[in-house]
Structure 1
Amino acid sequence: MADDRLIVALDFHHMEEVRELVNKLGDSVSAYKVGMELYYSVGREAVIWLKDEGKKVFLDLKLHDIPNTVASGLCSLMDLGADMLNVHAEGGYTMMKTAAERLHKAAEEANVPCPKLIAVTVLTSISEEEWADLGFAQDVKIKSIAVRLAKLAKKAGLDGVVASPHEAALIREACGKDFLIVTPGVRPAGSSVDDQSRIATPAAALKNGATHLVVGRPVRSAEDPVQAAKNIIKEMEQV
């Protein structure tokens, strides 16, 4: 049985690859992430096809611009029927608040369910060393900034954030039980780390407070993707 908390990342260039994996996974996976790589290659087709197949879609485009541009962009994306959209929290409070208000208003006027809107805090590929290179003082840690951005997103009216499993527990404590925490950087035991820095196993991520897990290569690159997805779900169910 599928678990909506597991979101498989479709980091492909072509719809043929998308159809092949989604059809192969069948009922074992119910939710997928469409990111920049796929969306910039095939555009709206990916989201529309997935929705026609009865799947949930996290459209991960990380909008980051002036408030009106981001809000207008989200309203355009809403028409695709994606279940979850996101922005960069570093765009600031006004950008996030404007985006949330405009998106909810557009959904109400169109008489459609409003997609969940979440904000990216600190990318999971950034290590503590890279963090220092960005010019932050030595005593300003990734965790503290991630929590601050999460609290700002909640204040702005967003539904949750994207954050690494390492920050999930602190964000859960700061933002409450109903706040969504979507965690990339999830790697089952024995999987390759790839280009991620702040990672955790599915069970550890959920124990830390994550509500959704984004998993890409450990499923896509597995010899048996269906079994890989089932193994992750089995681990998730133990928490």
Structure 2
Amino acid sequence: MNPVFLAIDTADPARARALVAAVRPHIGGLKLGLEWFAANGPGPTGALAREFGLPLFLDLKLHDIPTTVAAAVRAVAPLEPALLTVHGAGGRAMLEAARAAAPAGTAVVAVTVLTSLDAADLEATGIAGSPAGQALRLARLAEAAGLAGLVASPLELAPLRRQWPAALLVVPGIRPEGAPAGDQKRTLAPREALEAGASCLVIGRPITAAPDPGAAAAAIAASLR
């Protein structure tokens, strides 16, 4: 199975379709997040994934009281997402509510520490210690709540895989060698992330911002073979 999920970094449906058409042979799924969902809603979200026959990673990062999160999970269930994100920091009751509300074919995964944050950012929010330490704490919570896995920086993969061997580890912050990091502070190259234990690689701008997205996606796919 191709582990690459293309992050659609646009709210424009025409642009999104053109991107997916260009890279379709080289990716394994689509990641649609808040920008897309806020602009287009559920109808076009499901339609885009169905049009190209790709698994949908619905990256909404739900974070609210348990009842509200469960209701939101049920509301998006008709889209049949293969993956759905909630924030691990929402607590065990919220995570359990999300898992219970999800359809059988949807893997609910907990976001640990955003890849745009580092230790100084965490300290500013009152969280002591390293991103890796916080990711491990939230991993224990997610496993206890019965979730399928985690979203985590590639730099935390090795300890997370040791702590939770069966976890589905979904990894953003993937940057091929030489690609600009942008607002990502904790990154790794695609093959390195797979070798460290990643299950799925979420890749956006290195493909979507490339002069030739199809060639960029093909090069990444080749690097994983």
TM-score range, shorter chain: over 0.9
| 1:174 paired to 2:163 | yes
Q: Which residue of 2 aligns with 1:123?
A: 114
Provide the rounded CA distance (Å) in 2 between the counterparts of 1:87 and 1:29: 24
For 2:195, the equivalent position in structure 1 comes to 207
Write out aligned runs for 1:63-212 (5 A): 63-103=62-102, 107=103, 113-137=104-128, 140-176=129-165, 178-212=166-200
| Contact 2:45-2:79 within 8 A present in 1 as well | no
Deviation string for 1:94-119 (max 9, x for gaps)?
1101211222xxx3xxxxx4211101
Which whole-Å CA distance do the structure 1 matches of 2:224 and 2:25 have between them? 17
Unpaired segments of 5 or more residues in structure 2?
none
Contact persistence 1:51–1:81 (CA under 8 A): no
Secondary structure class of the residue paired with 1:206: helix
Aligned residue for 2:113, secondary structure, equals coil
TM-score (norm 2): 0.95
One-letter amino acid of the counterpart of residue 69, structure 1:
T
RMSD: 1.3
Structure 1 segments of 4 or more deviating over 3 A?
none
CA deviation map 1:178-211 (0-9, x unaligned): 2111110000000011000011111111121111
1:26 aligned residue:
24
SS of residue matched to 1:79 = helix
Over residues 64-97 of structure 1, what are the superposed CA-to-partner deviations in whole Å (9 max), with x where a residue is unaligned?
Answer: 0000110111011111121111100000011101
| TM-fit CA distance, 1:36 | 0.5
CA distance in structure 2 between the partners assigned to 1:158 and 1:202 by the alignment:
25
Identity of aligned residues (%): 37
2: distance between equivalents of 1:71 and 1:192?
Answer: 37
Determine which of 36, 44, 61 is the counterpart of 2:34: 36
- The letter of the residue matching 2:73 is L
Contact 1:15-1:46 at 8 Å conserved across structures: no
Question: Could you give the per-residue CA deviations for residues 136-170 of structure 1, whole angstroms, max 9, x where no partner exists?
Answer: 33xx2211110110121011010000000011111
1:110 maps to what in 2? Answer: none
- State the TM-score, normalizing by the size of structure 1: 0.90
Unaligned runs of 5+ in 1: 108-112
Query: Aligned partners of 1:26, 1:124: CA distance in 2, in Å?
Result: 26
